[in-house]
């Protein structure tokens, strides 16, 4: 029995050729881009970025003890309005005004331990080390972090906000 070979030939239209070039380039860039942007290394840049970096300033109006943090709201004006927040680097803590109440959280990201690279966007804390997002109560919105931020109880008496870290 004789085997017939059939060879077909033709040309791609320029539109089809351009589409294939662009989609191939997109696929390759996506593969390398995802690997690049989701990699985690201990030597990642830990410099805060973004337009919404917290006011840290001097510690005027903030007293940090072993089990408590006391904030004088008359001096720490960043917390006077809803959505206002601060990062207390010496206490490794985030504090946000949630509309008459305050939320106090650890600033140590549960993904890799970054503690100084935070922003608050759309009522979500964003750790810029690797992109983990948390609610203002500490719950994970999206990872790579899989555990919530530790929350601390607080109480307010006049202009004094006391946070209990024990």
Could you report the per-residue pLDDT of 150-162, keeping only the tens digit for each?
899 999 999 999 9
Would you report the helix, strand and coil content of the chain in percent, each value rounded to 5?
A: 15, 30, 55
Length of the chain: 166
Q: Per-residue pLDDT tens for 12-32? A: 567 766 766 777 666 655 655
Query: Any idea which fold 62-164 has?
Result: Rieske Iron-sulfur Protein (2.102.10)
């Amino acid at each position: 029995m004789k085997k017939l070979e059939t060879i077909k030939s033709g040309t791609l239209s320029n539109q089809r050729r351009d589409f294939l070039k662009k989609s191939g380039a997109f696929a390759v860039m996506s593969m390398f881009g995802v690997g690049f942007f989701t990699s985690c290394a201990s030597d990642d840049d830990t410099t805060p970025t973004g337009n919404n970096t917290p006011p840290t300033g001097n510690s005027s109006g903030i007293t940090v003890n072993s089990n408590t943090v006391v904030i004088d709201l008359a001096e720490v004006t960043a917390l006077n309005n809803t959505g206002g927040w601060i990062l207390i680097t010496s206490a490794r803590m985030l504090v946000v005004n949630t509309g008459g109440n305050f939320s106090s959280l650890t600033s140590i990201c549960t993904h890799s331990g970054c503690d100084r690279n935070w922003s608050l966007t759309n009522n979500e804390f964003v750790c810029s080390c690797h992109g983990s997002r948390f609610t203002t109560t500490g719950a994970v919105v999206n990872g790579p972090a899989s555990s919530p931020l530790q929350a601390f109880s607080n109480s307010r008496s006049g202009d004094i906000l006391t946070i209990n870290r024990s």
